[in-house]
Amino acid sequence: MLHKWLDERDERRARRGDEDKKVTDLALDADLAFSAAQNVDSIAEFCAHADHAVANSVSFYGWDGDTSDVVWEDGWITFPSSLETDIVENNTVRAKVTQGRSSDHALVVFHHWNAPSRKPQLAQFFAWQGITVVEVAMPYHLERSRPGSSHADYMLSPNLGRTIQSMRQAVLDGRKIVGILNDAGYKKVSVLGMSLGSWVAGLVASHEPMIGKAVLLLTAGSLADMVWTGRATRHIRASLEGKVELSELRKAWAPLSLESYSGQLARSDLALQLVLAERDTVVLPQVSRQLIETLNRSGATPKVLNLDCGHYSLSLPPYILRAGFAGSRLLHRQI
């Protein structure tokens, strides 16, 4: 009975945004994703650039280390994004800081796709434990929303190049926040991501050596598989189907797949906690299991908590409490 209620509740929650999510056209726009891509008009050419980005991910996700343009005042961190887009509002990064008692441990939080607000309860939970929490607005969300848009359609869409650009921008913004925290004296910096934010957190953790711990909620490895099979992204699949095969989408979005960087995620000084929902229709359990299997083959030993709830019902007790305490245990664990 409980499970039926949870499933129905999740489906009602999922339907809320359906009217705003429209089927559109496939767009490559490789020049948005890759600086060297010009006049790319085939998926095969796009995938070749994607292969190069994965092979050279240190530079693809690299940043210059400059934090001189940062303003930190009144509990907010503000700075211009390292990657400039054609939406002016999206180019300024804002992050809310909830100060913890500890002067050496900070947690950078990346919210879920289409998040309407930050998570003050989450921030207060970890701040109460002494950890300073920094909640960053991802591209095209919150203060960075595109004027006139009903949801963050530029962050994840049938535009393959813009999706990579947006996710790369989120990673570069996240790495800059880590640098800001390091400059402020934080010796330990961890990341936490939820749903789409877990991909960003995982990409940051795989490319930023300062990250020692990562908590990934409702995550998986292949963003392409998540989009192709998930309840929340049916409109994207409908936009792509018949024009791009799933196998091609996997190659095109390989720079965004956590499985592409399983070796970096398996490094000995990084601890991972995955929290998954067994009744998830947005990030299907089998897609999450593929990531776990890939990490295990790479030598990683992630902690995995499987909860018998859905994607949206994770926010309900007792599931959110179990997820929170699992994250807390990892963050306080000595590596």
Partners of 223 in beta bridges: none
| CA distance linking residue 170 with residue 332, whole number of Å | 26
pLDDT of residue 326: 97
pLDDT of residue 320: 95
DSSP 4-58: HHHHHHHHHHHHTTGGG------B--HHHH-TT--S--SHHHHHHHHHHHHHTHH
Write the CB contacts of 268 (distance below 8 Å, at least 6 apart in sequence). Answer: none
Write the CB contacts of 259 (distance below 8 Å, at least 6 apart in sequence). Answer: 221, 222, 290, 291, 294
pLDDT of residue 335: 61
Are the C-beta atoms of residues 186 and 105 closer than 8 Å to each other? Answer: yes
Q: Where residue 10 falls among pLDDT bands split at 50, 70, 90?
A: confident
pLDDT in tens, 191-241: 999 999 999 999 999 999 999 999 999 999 999 999 999 999 999 999 999
Q: What is the mean pLDDT of the chain?
A: 95
240 token code pair: 């792509």
Q: Is the pLDDT of residue 20 over 80?
A: no
pLDDT in tens, 245-297: 999 999 999 999 999 999 999 999 999 999 999 999 999 999 999 999 999 99
Which range marks the domain in which residue 185 is found? 2-332
182 token code pair: 């390091």
Q: What is the pTM of this model?
A: 0.97
Share of the chain above pLDDT 70, in %: 98
Question: What CATH number is given to the structural domain containing 75?
Answer: 3.40.50.1820
pLDDT of residue 3: 67
Are β-strands 92-98 and 76-80 bridged in parallel, bridged antiparallel, or unpaired? antiparallel
Please tell me which of 3-7, 100-104, 154-158 the model is most confident about, judged by mean pLDDT: 154-158
Are the C-beta atoms of residues 118 and 132 closer than 8 Å to each other? Answer: no
Q: 62 vs 19, which has greater pLDDT?
A: 62
Count of positions (residues) in the chain: 335
Instruction: Count up the domains in the chain and report the number.
Output: 1
pLDDT in tens, 97-106: 999 987 799 9
| CA distance linking residue 19 with residue 102, whole number of Å | 44
pLDDT of residue 119: 94
Please give the order of strands across the beta sheet that includes 71-73. 71-73, 76-80, 92-98, 132-136, 105-110, 188-194, 211-217, 271-277, 303-307
pLDDT of residue 17: 72
Extended beta strands in 195-241, E state: 211-217
